[in-house]
Amino acid sequence: MLIWALAVYLSYSGDLLRGWSKPKVIYTLPPVADGYNYGFHAYANYDETGKVIPLSWTQWSETESYLIAMANVTFS
């Protein structure tokens, strides 16, 4: 059985004329054994401290149908 693990990457730029930073994995979505993840979204500027970015995505599985999943990525 093939199980896909999807990673969420972050890249930033302080000056678009100089380009973007090297992408870095900040979160790995949990695998779905009999389905897949899709519809990922990051909610920028949601946390007033700027240190927490909420993530959401949809999971589909043959046994559990659809599920909206969420997680927070906290930066130090």
For residue range 18-44, what is the model confidence (pLDDT) as tens digits?
999 999 999 998 888 788 888 889 888
Residue-wise pLDDT for 39-68, tens only, equals 889 888 778 888 999 999 998 888 768 889
* Cα–Cα dist 74/58, whole Å: 21
Expressed in angstroms, the distance from the first to the final Cα of the chain is: 37
DSSP string for the chain: ------EEEE---S-TTT--PPPEEEEEPPP-TTEEEEEEEE-TT-STTS-EEEEEEEEEETTTEEEEEEEEEE--
